[in-house]
A and B are shown apart, each in its own frame.
Chain A
């Protein structure tokens, strides 16, 4: 009788320990699936800063256009070149900030910054983005200026949606918002400036803050 009870409890003990192992197995499987297919060390803070740069840049452009070219932008003029430089600087600062903060976060997570998953993310992000950028430059060269803002928002949105498969899935929704803002911008080019500020400035700040509190503060 004693032996029977003993073997009975032993049996349950083994079963219990086994199920604990299985739970660990499942969580390890999930972890590996994520780690091997997605680059998740993106920093939310870099999104916030990109938004702030965009707003500063937009303020400068607004000031330039309203004070030096009387509200109309002559596209072969000096001011246009300044605005273009302004845009390039916003992009450059945003990229540098993203690289620095993401590297820092990857180090903290013990993840590699340059591995299969981050390469895949960058390639898939850049394909729609570079296509859009070249397309915008081409139509600017053909003196079609009206849709540049809308196209920037649309192609950026498509890049985010494409990249979301290889990173934090949530950036897909920011992509949708940018695409919608871009289409609205195409319909009402008169509001282009404000929609651009909303898409690249305010949305980045809101989204970055949300990402920061959701993923970074652990």
Chain B
């Protein structure tokens, strides 16, 4: 039996901000500003917190639009989009996963909106005394990595490769939040996640920065999808993510922005 684990664990967060739309109250002509309808955003698991906040703020400014967010590993989301999942926008955690969608001719203007860096996450207080990447080669340490097919796993492979470390992970998680959860629960001694994940789980997780490590960075891009059912609102959301307010929120979450 195959169950949609991520859907159960993370869930689809619906921000129902409808109802306060000004019906006929504004004089704006249709096509300018008066957005409505629903949009579905497929976003990388590492964007869970920032995109939830951004979608909330977008919804306040565009009360006619209902934003539904679906988070997961970028690779799985891309596979879903290629298989015809009804999404209006795709926010990927790496250029490779975005390329899978744009090569299929489904992406309209993919644009980089933030950059993220890997970091080592350890349970609070660092009980196993992890000091750096070298510990990832220690079989006595419990290590979680992302599966190589998802962006955080690809980045982890790059970083470990560049550092000449032959890591011995105990589990390969299907997205970065699953790896982070294993650290939060104290089930592993360390995991390679993004620095934004360490910040998001501040209370239960300590982090070791890897910003200087070669290959530690990933470019995040967002695109409207060519078969979006609500292209106007989708374009507005993509623009909003590149705008000052969303960029500030991303910066606060630990992303590098221009």
| Chain B associates with chain A | no
Interface residues of A (CB under 8 A from B): none
